[in-house]
């Protein structure tokens, strides 16, 4: 396994190799407190150590403010922008409909081998994007964990 990984030019994953990556420019522009974002990402990682990626994304700009990933060198910028677009579209759809006094809480995207979950902050300004492998957790559990962290 290790030999194969070396041959492919990637190193085997170690639990200690994940680290928080911050997008300072976007963070300053967003005016969302860094401590809050760090706390959320840390809590998600503590409760779901097997996660693939967790990112905090600004809804309005689609900027990924901070992320943590097991995939080495993974840049979630494109994924963040696309998911932010999904959120904005859904928010528009809700605003256009007859539903009043409701806010978008989460969006669940279950695939066969991977689950993507979006959970919006109460302010609606930012959301957490979480991707996990289906073999490591289940949809309800991942959702409950996000719900407990971002009420």
Residues found near other proteins in the complex (CB under 8 A): 110, 137-141, 143-144
Q: Which is nearer to other proteins, 48 or 54 (CB)?
A: 48
Compute the least distance from the CB of residue 112 to other proteins, in Å.
Answer: 10
Q: Which is nearer to other proteins, 32 or 115 (CB)?
A: 115
Q: Which is nearer to other proteins, 53 or 137 (CB)?
A: 137
Q: Which is nearer to other proteins, 26 or 48 (CB)?
A: 48
Q: Where are the beta strands (DSSP E) in the chain?
A: 20-22, 53-58, 64-69, 106-110, 114-120, 126-133
Compute the least distance from the CB of residue 47 to other proteins, in Å.
Answer: 11
Round to whole Å and give the CA distance between 24 and 37: 12
Round to whole Å and give the CA distance between 66 and 148: 20
DSSP-derived 3-state class of residue 61: coil
Compute the least distance from the CB of residue 148 to other proteins, in Å.
Answer: 8
46 CB-near residues (< 8 Å, 6+ apart)? none
Compute the least distance from the CB of residue 50 to other proteins, in Å.
Answer: 11
Place of tokens 């030019």: 9
């Amino acid at each position: 396994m290790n030999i194969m990984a070396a041959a492919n030019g990637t190193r085997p994953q170690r639990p200690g190799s994940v680290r928080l990556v911050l997008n300072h420019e976007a963070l300053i522009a967003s005016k969302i407190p860094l401590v809050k974002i760090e706390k959320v990402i840390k809590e998600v990682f503590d409760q779901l150590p097997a996660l693939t990626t967790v990112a905090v994304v600004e809804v309005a700009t689609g900027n990924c403010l901070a992320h943590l990933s097991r995939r080495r060198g993974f840049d979630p910028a494109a994924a963040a922008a696309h998911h932010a677009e999904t959120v904005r579209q859904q928010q528009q759809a809700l605003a256009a409909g007859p539903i009043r006094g409701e806010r978008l809480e989460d969006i669940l995207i279950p695939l066969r081998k991977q689950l993507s979950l979006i959970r919006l902050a109460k302010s609606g300004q930012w959301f957490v994007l979480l991707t996990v492998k289906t073999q490591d957790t289940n949809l309800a559990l991942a959702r409950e964990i996000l719900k407990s962290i971002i009420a």
